[in-house]
Amino acid sequence: MKYFPAILIVISLSTLLPAQELQKPDWVRIFQQGANLPDTTDSYCGIGSSTLAQDDADAMARQEFSLNIEARVQNVITRNVQETDNVLKDEYSVSARVSSDVVLHGIGITARYEDKDRKQFYALIQVRKSVYDTLLVTEIRRDLERKKAENKVEEEKKAEELRSRQAELDLRHKEEETRRQEVELEKKEYEEFLSIKAPEEVVDLRNGEIARKGYTLALKAALAPFDVQSANFTLAMWRFELSANAYFQPEESLKSGKLEREQATFKIQLLEQAGQLYKSSLAFGVVGYGNESTVGAFDSIRPSYSVFAAGDIGLPTFLYSFASVYVDGRKAAIGWNCFPLPGSLKEGVSVLVQMDYIWNKNWRNRFSDPLLLQTGIRFRASDAFATSFTYEGHEFLVFSIEMGL
């Protein structure tokens, strides 16, 4: 009896409508009238219509079918996920994806119709609820098993990544420990050299170190013939150093004894003996310099200014030595202090080698050599007193004395 109203509608239509209307499927006529299909209590349905093409009508039918079963799919998914594996509940409850998969895998178009008078395409999907529920449960459980397998593979992958990462960390720790032990052995092997204070000067190159005493006075004189060449005064405090140099013209010049050149330097040490084995220092500063003035004519000096960088590094594995570098707007210089017997003589005796490249012609020697090689030997009695014999300017054998005050 539950189909009697629909049958009555169909009989009424058959007596009133023309033959072309009677050829329409019942589901099309009922859809056009806005009524529900008579068997919707036993089936899931979806009807789509389009004026463009049959494929569009099919797509609309699938969309309508999905909307009609959405709530049902949610209930079935929740129940089956909880029954199968509650751990997957939160990450798996995505009804739209599952229902779409079911439609694509197991549900097809039940019927199609083209209304040529209205130029309308229709598509019907109608599946009995019991059939669809069975299909849906099967699909959900299959998808759950796939999800479990994916999770297992992902967990194994993560576990392998953790094992690999831990192995890398262990290897790195072993390498660091090995390197630390090597450094400790090297430090013990070169402990006599590492106890030496880094020299702050080579021949006339001052590196990244700060003067040892608060006040230092240094004088240089040529030995053959004897002639005062330069005087230097240095004030040191913590990591700051201020120094002034005066250079005198040689004996051969008619202006012997006159002040030929002068410079003043302000230095800031940024890095002090950093490192364990190869200890390094670095400093920056400003140097001002002037040329061709007399002692009594300081008002005629026209100084120039330049920033400079200076540094040094201890090289215990290379002949117990220190390498130094200095660069400013006039020149660039590299130097080498070698301590041949750090165990017995410590820093008492050192060999000096310095190479200068001078692009400022006013600061070259009287032969205008751009490249200078200067060598010598220094004797240090204490932090406050040192002497040296050096060959400078490709011309002079120079005796120097340095006193800390």
Dihedral angle computed from the Cα positions of residues 107, 108, 110 and 116, in that order, rounded to the nearest 10 degrees: 140
SS3 sequence of the chain: CCCHHHHHHHHHHHHHCCHHHHCCCHHHHHHHCCCCCCCCCCEEEEEEEECCCHHHHHHHHHHHHHHHHHHHHHHHHHHHHHHHCHHHHHHHCCHHHHHHHHHHHHCCCCEEEEECCCCEEEEEEEEEHHHHHHHHHHHHHHHHHHHHHHHHHHHHHHHHHHHHHHHHHHHHHHHHHHHHHHHHHHHHHCHHHHCCCCCCECCCCECCCCCCCCEEEEEEEEECCEEEEEEEEEEEECCEEEEEEEEECCCCCCCCCCEEEEEEEEEEEEEEEECCCCCEEEEEEEEEEEECCCCCCHHHCCCEEEEEEEEEEEECCCCCEEEEEEECCCEEEEEEEECCCCCCCCCCEEEEEEEEEECCHHHCCCCCCCEEEEEEEEEEEECCEEEEEEEECCCEEEEEEEEEC
The answer to whether the peptide bond before residue 340 is cis (omega within 30 degrees of 0) is: no
pLDDT at position 313, please?
Answer: 97
- Please state which CATH number belongs to domain 39-155: 3.10.28.20
Span 353-362, average pLDDT: 95
Q: Which of 12-26, 112-126, 213-227 has the lowest mean pLDDT?
A: 12-26
Sheet with 43-50, edge to edge strand ranges: 43-50, 120-128, 111-115
Angle at 388 between CA 384 and CA 393, to 5 degrees: 130
Span 185-213, average pLDDT: 93
226 contacts 256 by C-beta, under 8 angstroms: no
pLDDT of 295 higher than 60: no
258 versus 67: the higher-pLDDT residue is: 67
Instruction: Using pLDDT thresholds of 50, 70 and 90, give the confidence band for residue 114.
Output: confident
Same CATH fold assignment for domains 39-155 and 198-404: no
CA distances from 294 to 219, 259, 291, 301, 309 (A): 19, 5, 9, 9, 30
The C-alpha atoms of residue 141 and residue 215 are separated, in whole angstroms, by: 89
Instruction: Using pLDDT thresholds of 50, 70 and 90, give the confidence band for residue 254.
Output: very low
Q: Which of 174-183, 247-256, 295-304 has the lowest mean pLDDT?
A: 295-304
Span 154-174, average pLDDT: 90
Give me the long-range contacts of 172-175 (CB less than 8 A, separation at least 24). Answer: none
The C-alpha atoms of residue 229 and residue 393 are separated, in whole angstroms, by: 11
The C-alpha atoms of residue 279 and residue 252 are separated, in whole angstroms, by: 43
Give me the long-range contacts of 323-326 (CB less than 8 A, separation at least 24). Answer: 324/199, 324/202, 324/205, 324/207, 324/208, 325/207, 326/205, 326/206, 326/207
pLDDT digits (tens, 9 = 90+) for 68-94: 777 666 666 666 655 555 555 544 554
pLDDT digits (tens, 9 = 90+) for 214-234: 999 999 999 877 888 899 999
Percent of the chain with pLDDT over 90: 43
pLDDT of 139 higher than 80: no
The C-alpha atoms of residue 255 and residue 229 are separated, in whole angstroms, by: 13
Q: Hey, where are the domains in the chain?
A: 39-155, 198-404
Identity at 401, one-letter amino acid code: I
20 versus 404: the higher-pLDDT residue is: 404
Instruction: Using pLDDT thresholds of 50, 70 and 90, give the confidence band for residue 343.
Output: confident
pLDDT at position 135, please?
Answer: 77
Q: What is the mean pLDDT of the chain?
A: 83
Q: What b-and-e string marks burial along 33-55, b requiring 16 or more CB atoms within 10 Å of the CB? A: eeeebbeeeebbbbbbbbeeebe
pLDDT at position 2, please?
Answer: 47
What is the homologous superfamily of the domain 198-404 according to CATH? monomeric porin ompg (2.40.160.40)
Instruction: Using pLDDT thresholds of 50, 70 and 90, give the confidence band for residue 19.
Output: low
pLDDT at position 300, please?
Answer: 52
pLDDT at position 388, please?
Answer: 96
Instruction: Using pLDDT thresholds of 50, 70 and 90, give the confidence band for residue 338.
Output: very high
Q: Which of 25-34, 120-129, 133-142 has the lowest mean pLDDT?
A: 133-142
- pTM given for the model: 0.60
pLDDT at position 70, please?
Answer: 72
Q: Which of 202-206, 249-253, 396-400 has the lowest mean pLDDT?
A: 249-253
pLDDT of 297 higher than 70: no
pLDDT of 27 higher than 70: yes
35 contacts 27 by C-beta, under 8 angstroms: no
